[in-house]
Amino acid sequence: MCVHFRRVLVAMVLAASVAGPALGQAMDAEDVLRAPAVRALEAMLRERPHARDEAWRSLSDPRLPRMAPDPQDPDRALVTFAWRGGPTTQAVRLDSVINVDRASQPVTDYRADFTLPMRRMDGADIWTLTLSVPRDVQAVYSFLVSDAGGEQRWSDPANPVRLGGRDGESLLRLDRAPRADIHRPLAFDAAVSPLRLNVASEALRREVSVAVYRAPDAAPDAPLLILYDAFLWGQRAPVSDLLARLAEAGEIPATHLVLIDQLDPVSARRAYTDQAVFIADDLLPALRAEAGLAPRRDTTLLAGASRRGLSASLTALSRPDLIGGVIALSGSFYWAPEGEAPEWAARELSPAPVPAPVFHLAAGRLETVVTATNRGHVMLDTNRAMARALDAHGYEAELVVYPGGHDIAGWRSALADGLVALLGSDGN
Of the three residues 173, 207, 237, the one that is the final residue of a domain is 173
List CB contacts of 417: < 8 A, sequence separation 6 or more.
178, 179, 360, 362, 400, 402
| CATH number of the domain encompassing residue 374 | 3.40.50.1820
For residues 197 and 278, membership in a common domain is answered with yes
For residues 244 and 357, membership in a common domain is answered with yes
Give the DSSP letter of residue 321.
Answer: T
Dihedral sign (CA 348, 351, 356, 361): positive
pLDDT in tens, 87-134: 999 999 999 999 998 899 999 999 999 999 999 998 899 999 999 999
Q: What is the pLDDT of residue 98?
A: 96
Phi, psi of 213 (to 5 degrees): -105, 105
Q: What is the pLDDT of residue 4?
A: 35
Is 33 inside any structural domain?
Answer: yes
For residues 264 and 133, membership in a common domain is answered with no
For residues 177 and 135, give the distance between their C-alpha atoms in angstroms, rounded to a whole number: 7
pLDDT in tens, 132-178: 999 999 999 999 999 999 999 999 999 999 888 667 899 999 999 98
Is 50 inside any structural domain?
Answer: yes
For residues 107 and 252, membership in a common domain is answered with no
For residues 144 and 15, membership in a common domain is answered with yes
For residues 416 and 334, membership in a common domain is answered with yes
Q: What is the pLDDT of residue 10?
A: 32
Q: What is the pLDDT of residue 110?
A: 96
For residues 114 and 262, membership in a common domain is answered with no
What's the total number of domains in the chain?
A: 2
Are the CB atoms for 399 and 154 separated by under 8 Å?
no
For residues 368 and 225, membership in a common domain is answered with yes
For residues 202 and 155, membership in a common domain is answered with no
Is 428 inside any structural domain?
Answer: no
For residues 200 and 296, membership in a common domain is answered with yes
| CATH number of the domain encompassing residue 68 | 2.60.40.10
Of the three residues 133, 156, 173, the one that is the final residue of a domain is 173
The letter for the amino acid at 268 is A
* Range(s) of the domain holding residue 201: 181-423
For residues 49 and 126, membership in a common domain is answered with yes
Number of helices (H), then strands (E), in the chain: 12, 17
Q: What is the pLDDT of residue 428?
A: 44
Q: What is the pLDDT of residue 392?
A: 98
Phi, psi of 153 (to 5 degrees): -90, 135
List, for the chain, all residue ranges whose pLDDT scores fall below the cut of 50: 1-23, 25-33, 426-428
For residues 274 and 257, membership in a common domain is answered with yes
Of the three residues 152, 173, 194, the one that is the final residue of a domain is 173
Is 146 inside any structural domain?
Answer: yes
